[in-house]
Homo-oligomer: A and B are copies of this chain.
């Protein structure tokens, strides 16, 4: 699974866990095995202390992911009953990514459809190339987009844009995806990787307890937690008692860059 010959593989370097889609002959269409592998790779990123930030990308810049592998649908997902098992596997991967404590970023380049958009939307952030096209096609296939994924989408772009995408199944260009908040940044193709890594380095230099704490609070509020939830206050308090905070304030007053890396 770790090998670069896999259809999805993980490579870890410099604090980054890169999960890479690599099934070019099928434009990275996700079959059940790939969903299962994705789950496991996300779980490995969660536990491996060498990973601070997760980057999800394709080995092939012309396509991020063409969606679920529909050739499997007539056997593995032919009705509501078989969908139970199929869906559980997809959900494990998507929610694994969504619920990861560490920050995640999808670098999207080229076609990004259905399951591809699902994966990208489950990440915290989405940076894309200017030639990217994104869409969500269930209405062209006769099924209904899953509830958890619909909520993620609607939280991101609002109910009206979510309906536009889901009703029509149309493909958006990068500029429109950016305008509606479906992606967070658009770069010229040749700059995408550099700019993405620059941004990730920004995160790697920051205090990871702070990043993870902020992520936990944003996600909890989004899932309906109340502002006075004591578990959220605890996250804030824990950080104020942390050595990272001591280092951050000291570095500021000494007019030097903080060194948070020793606290990983």
Contacts and interface: CB of A to CB of B under 8 A. Distances in A.
Interface of A: 70-71, 73-74, 77-80, 83, 103, 124-126, 138-148, 150-151, 154-156, 158-164, 166-170, 180-181, 184, 199, 202-203, 206-207, 209-211, 213-215, 217-219, 221-224, 226-229, 232-233, 235-242, 244-250, 252-253, 258, 260
Binding site secondary structure of chain A:
helix
Given A159-B219, A227-B151, A233-B147, A142 B184 contact: no
A142 B246 contact: yes
B248 A140 contact: yes
A121 to B, nearest CB: 9
A169 B258 CA distance: 13
B142 A242 contact: yes
A219 B211 CA distance: 28
A145 B244 CA distance: 14
A70 B154 contact: no
7 contacts: A70-B249, A124-B163, A139-B210, A142-B247, A143-B248, A151-B221, A154-B218
Given A145-B217, A217-B147, A248-B143, A160 B240 contact: no
A50 to B, nearest CB: 19
Contacts of A213: 144
Contacts of A252: 70, 141
A151 B168 CA distance: 25
A181 B160 contact: yes
B144 A217 contact: yes
Contacts of A161: 181, 184
A96 to B, nearest CB: 16
A206 B147 contact: no
Given A154-B218, A158-B181, 17 more contacts: A79-B240, A80-B238, A83-B240, A103-B163, A125-B164, A138-B214, A139-B206, A141-B245, A143-B239, A144-B210, A144-B239, A144-B240, A151-B227, A156-B160, A166-B218, A168-B202, A168-B206
